[in-house]
Amino acid sequence: MTGKLLERLPNPMIKAASAALAFAALGVAFVPAAQAETKVYVNPEYNQGFSGATSLGGVLNLDVGIENGPFYAQLGPALATGTGSAEWGIAGKTGVSGKVSDHMNLYAEVSAAKFDGADAAFGLKVGSKYTF
Query: 62-108: per-residue pLDDT in tens?
Result: 999 999 999 999 999 999 998 678 899 999 999 999 999 999 999 99
pLDDT band at 19 (very low <50, low <70, confident <90, very high): low
Answering whether pTM is above 0.85, one says no
Q: Where are the domains of the chain?
A: 2-130
Burial of 57 (0-12, 13-18, 19+ CB in 10 A): middle
The conformation of residue 116, written as its DSSP 8-state character, comes to T
Q: What is the pLDDT of residues 38-61, one digit of tens each?
A: 999 999 999 999 999 998 899 999
